[in-house]
Amino acid sequence: MEPSLITIDELTGLYNRGYANEALEQNISLAKQKGLSLAIIMIDIDRFKIINSSCGHPFGDIVIQKVGELLLKTTFKDDDLPCRYGGEELFLVILPNTSRDSAYEWAEEVRLAIKSLEIKYEQAIITLTASFGVACFPEHGETVNQIIQKADEALYKAKRDGRDQVCQCQLS
């Protein structure tokens, strides 16, 4: 599937949710055919609504852009797909042919990279944290909806357990 302007998020330059869902469907099908693993990672910028309300939406857009740039720089393989997935601050990364452990390691590296971002706002430097939920095919399901749901559950566990961490979906 070749990306077009319709499939690209205007603010970040990442793929959008529609493209992510189609690509995930195709990647699951390919993983089934070839017996490969597939990992997805949901990423949510912690306390983003506070950043937006205290610094304003234009600054919130800058924060989203910086995280998007970081995701583009940290995807390692040509077929890794960083996407802006939902709301303002929710991202999804599709990692074809990636094991559960490798996905966790990647997410932890990205978590630390986001934490080290320093974004200037007026006279201050703003730092960020993010929470991550990791789910894999086939362990956590064989449909897009099942895997997304499991990644979402892991993400909300990371949020509930204090934010700024990576949580893996529990095996069924």
Give per-10-residue mean pLDDT for the chain (172 aa).
Answer: 73 94 95 95 97 93 96 87 93 96 96 96 92 94 92 97 94 61
**Residue 115 resides in a domain:** yes
What per-residue confidence (pLDDT) applies to 4? 57
What per-residue confidence (pLDDT) applies to 123? 87
**Residue 71 resides in a domain:** yes
> The CATH number of the domain where 19 resides is what?
3.30.70.270
From 22, 69, 88, 139, active-site residue: 88
Euclidean distance between CA atoms 152 and 30, whole angstroms: 23
**Residue 145 resides in a domain:** yes
**Residue 2 resides in a domain:** no
User: How many domains does one find in the chain?
Assistant: 1
Catalytic site residue 88? yes
Q: Which residues share a beta bridge with 167?
A: 133
**Residue 13 resides in a domain:** yes
Provide the token pair at 172.
């069924």
**Residue 12 resides in a domain:** yes
Write the CB contacts of 65 (distance below 8 Å, at least 6 apart in sequence): 11, 12
Domain that holds residue 55: 8-168
Euclidean distance between CA atoms 96 and 94, whole angstroms: 6
Euclidean distance between CA atoms 110 and 115, whole angstroms: 8
**Residue 130 resides in a domain:** yes
**Residue 121 resides in a domain:** yes
What per-residue confidence (pLDDT) applies to 172? 55
